Structure 1
Amino acid sequence: MEAVQETGNLIASDKVQGTNVYNAAGDNLGSIHDIMIDKPSGKVAYAIMSFGGFLGIGNQYHPLPWSVLRYDTDKGGYVVNLDKRQLEGAPAYDIDLEPAWGDRAYESRIHDYYGVGPYWSM
């Protein structure tokens, strides 16, 4: 028997991966590469969005605080209140590097950029 991957309000992490991310104007900004979950609380902390590049060259990952995403059933993807210009200046890392997860100063800069409180204080 195959595990249920999606219900009305729940979705398996492997179904989130590859989901498109749009801005409020409907522009496709990228797609979810991965999600980061806070082990102690079980909360989803970040959606890691693949943004930019061509054919995988020059791609960067943008950690988006989970709280800035809203799922839109009509689009079948997540919507953020950002435009491409704002993402170009957002915290990001190259696909072959690992950011400083667990470093509260690094993660605070991400949350400050998006103007939301950190997941560990919610």
Structure 2
Amino acid sequence: MRRLHLKPLVASALLFGTLTGYGNAYAQGAPQAITEKRTDVVQLASGYRASKLNGADVYNRNKDTIGTLDDLIVSPSGDRGTYAILSVGGFLGMGKHLVAVPFNDLQINNRRVVLPDATKKSLEALPEFKYAPD
């Protein structure tokens, strides 16, 4: 005579019912709205990764080196865009001056970053950018 073990079956059924019954539960306690938008992933993949641009020299239209790309920052509200943080001046990391310029002002071609109308002096005249504490 074959014995059927019901306890594991009942426990599995209860667990499955519990998990499926809470399928609409939210981890943060509030519903989230997600807007889906189709993205051309092939075109996107041909873009420039921030990690690869970090540390790139920034030139003006006269091919003068005017700074280094230190970072990219997306504004907290998202509606103000992305900013490039440039390191200007200094020597061996000492005395450098960080400034923020709109990312859209940069021209990028084969990892060559150009801010056409800028000079070291014009960038150094911008307000100094300071990172917010973590």
Q: TM-score normalised by the shorter chain: which range applies?
A: 0.5 to 0.7
Partner residue of 2:57? Answer: 20
Indicate the structure (1 or 2) with the bigger Cα radius of gyration. 2
How is 1:72-83 mapped onto 2 (pairs within 5 angstroms)?
72-73=109-110, 76-80=111-115, 81-83=117-119
Q: CA RMSD in A?
A: 2.3
Partner residue of 2:124? Answer: 88
- The superposition leaves residues 34-63 of structure 1 with CA deviations (integer Å, 9 ceiling, x where unpaired) of 100135548851010111111111011111
Write the distance in 1 (CA, Å) between the matches of 2:76 and 2:82.
10
Q: CA deviation at 1:98?
A: 2.9
Say if 2:68 and 2:88, in contact at 8 Å, map to a contact too.
yes
Write the distance in 2 (CA, Å) between the matches of 1:53 and 1:17.
18
State whether structure 2 residue 94 is matched by structure 1 residue 57: yes
Structure having the higher strand fraction is 1
Runs of 5+ consecutive residues of structure 2 not aligned to the other structure: 1-43
SS in 2 for 1:18: coil
- The superposition leaves residues 58-95 of structure 1 with CA deviations (integer Å, 9 ceiling, x where unpaired) of 0111111112101133xx321112112211211223xx
Say if 1:35 and 1:44, in contact at 8 Å, map to a contact too.
no
Runs of 5+ consecutive residues of structure 1 not aligned to the other structure: 1-5, 100-122
Q: Normalized against structure 2, the TM-score is what?
A: 0.56
Q: Normalized against structure 1, the TM-score is what?
A: 0.61
Q: Deviating runs (4+, > 3 A) in structure 1?
A: 38-44
